[in-house]
Amino acid sequence: MYISLVALKSTDSYDQHQAIWSLFPDTPERKRDHLFRIESHKKDQIVALLQSSTEPKSSEQSEVLQSKSFNLNLSEGDYYKFKLVANPTKRLSKERNVIEIKDEADQAQWLQRKLAGANVTVTAVESTLVDSRKSFKSRFVTFEGILQITDVDKIYRAVVMGIGRKKHAGAGLLSLARTG
């Protein structure tokens, strides 16, 4: 896998999605093998953290600032700092509609379900609304905290596959850093 910092030239989430795709011109059948999140939103530059299975290449819409390969070595029982920008949702059983979870306590429960392979302690939660010209505003929640891995396979899948909806718009990337 690769972890990269990329500069995007658009503030719209749909255009950012297109700019991220442009970093992988040789991807067959347009299969998504990447996750990203916006790290900084300055007036003249938007910087995204990108995790991908192939190395990104700069394009007209986005520039690779730095990139390095990494191996994900997770160990059961170890503690990790985590950061996740997600779009917490739930499906209403009767209508089969999907709605965003707005209550912070419900968001924390949603995160606990999604990270079932770990003991999770959330230390910070921040909610923001993200615009897209292709859809309505979406609620993205940034979770930060500490987790202790109880099931390596489940957490590995969460890191590689992402968590929740709106991955195309910059949600779902779970970053881990070993503590101590």
**Ranges of each domain in the chain:** 2-69, 79-178
* The two domains 2-69 and 79-178 share their CATH topology (first three levels equal): yes
CA dist 134 → 12, 131, 139, 169, 173 (Å): 9, 9, 15, 11, 21
CATH top class, domain 2-69 = alpha beta
- Report residue 150: phi and psi, to 5°: -110, -20
Token reading at 160: 């590689």
Domain spanning 79-178: CATH superfamily = Crispr-associated protein; domain 2 (3.30.70.1210)
pLDDT tens series, the chain, 180 aa: 999 999 998 877 788 888 999 998 876 666 778 999 999 877 667 999 999 999 999 999 999 999 999 998 999 999 999 999 999 999 887 777 888 899 999 999 999 999 999 999 999 998 887 766 656 678 899 999 999 999 999 999 999 999 999 898 899 999 999 987
Q: Residue 80's pLDDT is what?
A: 95
Terminal CA-to-CA distance of the chain, rounded, Å? 24
